[in-house]
Amino acid sequence: MNCTETREIIHSYLNDELEEQLLAGVVSHLAGCSGCRRELGNLHTSLDWLRKTYPEQAPPGDLWEKIQGAIETR
């Protein structure tokens, strides 16, 4: 597997969605290619940023009451 082929499926690799044969090809290529390892690292960093920037938050505590009220008045 070369760099072009690896980068075409590197997102699937990141998503843990590759079949065994392709997975083995990517792993083997990454072991010997610093450029593709850097690309993978960049992807990890972007996703890290995304999850830090948009953390999960608790919904308002009175959501159920408001929805019940809205359902009853419609």
Partner 1 sequence: MCQPSGTTELAEIGNQAVRGPDFSNVFDEFQRPIYNYLLRLTQNHAQAEDLTQETFIRVHRSLPTFRGDASLTTWIYRIATNVSLDHFRRRATRQAKAALSLEETQSEREWVVDENAPAPEQVASQSEMSDCVQRFIWRLPPSYRTVMVLHDLQGLKNREIADVLDCSLHTVKIRLHRARKKLRAILDAGCDFAHDERNVFVCEPKQTETEEAGG
Does 5 sit near partner 1 (CB under 8 A)? no
Does 32 sit near partner 1 (CB under 8 A)? no
Q: Of the two residues 4 and 32, which places its CB atom closer to partner 1 in the complex?
A: 4
Distance between CA atoms of 63 and 61, rounded to whole angstroms?
Answer: 6
- Cβ at position 34, least distance to partner 1 in Å: 18
Does 18 sit near partner 1 (CB under 8 A)? no
Does 71 sit near partner 1 (CB under 8 A)? yes
Distance between CA atoms of 26 and 6, rounded to whole angstroms?
Answer: 6
The set of long-range contacts for 56-62, using a CB threshold of 8 Å and a minimum separation of 24, is none
